[in-house]
């Protein structure tokens, strides 16, 4: 599902105010644009069971959640995979990371096995208290749920932890602006 062609700053169009996950209505807590060197990489929104400005609550609360991202340009899959892994590693102890390293390698390797993430493509990370974590990318479809302990929080900490991928993006996703 290619959502748009060309650049847009209209995040409201990309990310609806609510969506249904696990039979629960989740609200868009915040949204942002990931940029590097002034170039937009992807748009991102965080959906939660209830709004919060507190990162730890967003990470640990036991309700359905979703990170929804839309690529702003063609991106080499391996670059995005490595960036996500770096974000997880930066917010995990070595012991925590090693416990989930093989899952991270398997999941992100499968998700980004395509050479290029196409401009306008959507990828999501869905968090279900009942089923685990499920990733989806347009080119791959839904991957199986992962129930590995700590995997859900490790992923969220990449964007919301003490050493986030981007501090401005963290503030935006938590509605702190």
Q: What is the pLDDT of residues 61-104, one digit of tens each?
A: 999 999 999 989 888 878 878 888 899 999 999 999 998 888 88
Rounded CA-CA distance 64/121 in Å is 23
- Average pLDDT (126-147) is 84
Cα separations (Å) of 92 from 42, 101, 102, 154?
23, 11, 15, 7
- Bigger pLDDT: 162 or 73? 162
Out of 3.50.70.10, 1.10.10.10, 3.90.1150.10, 3.60.10.10, select the CATH number for domain 11-173: 3.50.70.10
Q: Is 70 exceeded by the pLDDT of residue 4?
A: no
| Ranges of each domain in the chain | 11-173
Residue by residue, DSSP assigns 116-133 as: EEPTTBEEEEEEETTTEE
| pLDDT score, position 78 | 80
- Bigger pLDDT: 39 or 48? 48
The sign of the torsion formed by the CA atoms of 69, 63, 24, 134 equals positive
What pTM does this model have?
0.87
Q: Is 97 helix (H, G, I), strand (E, B) or coil?
A: helix
């Amino acid at each position: 599902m290619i959502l748009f062609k060309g650049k847009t700053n209209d995040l409201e169009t990309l990310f609806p105010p609510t969506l249904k996950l696990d039979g629960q209505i989740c609200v868009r807590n915040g949204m942002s644009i990931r940029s590097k060197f002034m170039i937009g990489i992807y748009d991102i929104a965080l959906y939660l069971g209830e709004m919060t400005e507190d990162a730890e609550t967003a990470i640990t609360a036991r309700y359905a959640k979703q990170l929804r991202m839309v690529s702003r340009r063609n991106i080499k899959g391996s670059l995005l995979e490595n960036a996500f892994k770096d974000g997880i590693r930066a917010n995990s102890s070595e012991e925590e990371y090693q416990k989930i390293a093989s899952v991270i390698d398997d999941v992100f390797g499968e998700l980004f096995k395509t050479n290029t993430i196409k401009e306008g493509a959507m990828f999501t990370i869905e968090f279900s208290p009942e089923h685990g974590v499920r990733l989806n990318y347009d080119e791959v479809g839904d991957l199986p749920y992962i129930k590995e302990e700590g995997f859900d929080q490790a992923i969220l900490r990449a964007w919301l932890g003490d050493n986030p991928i981007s501090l401005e993006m963290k503030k935006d996703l938590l509605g702190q602006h």
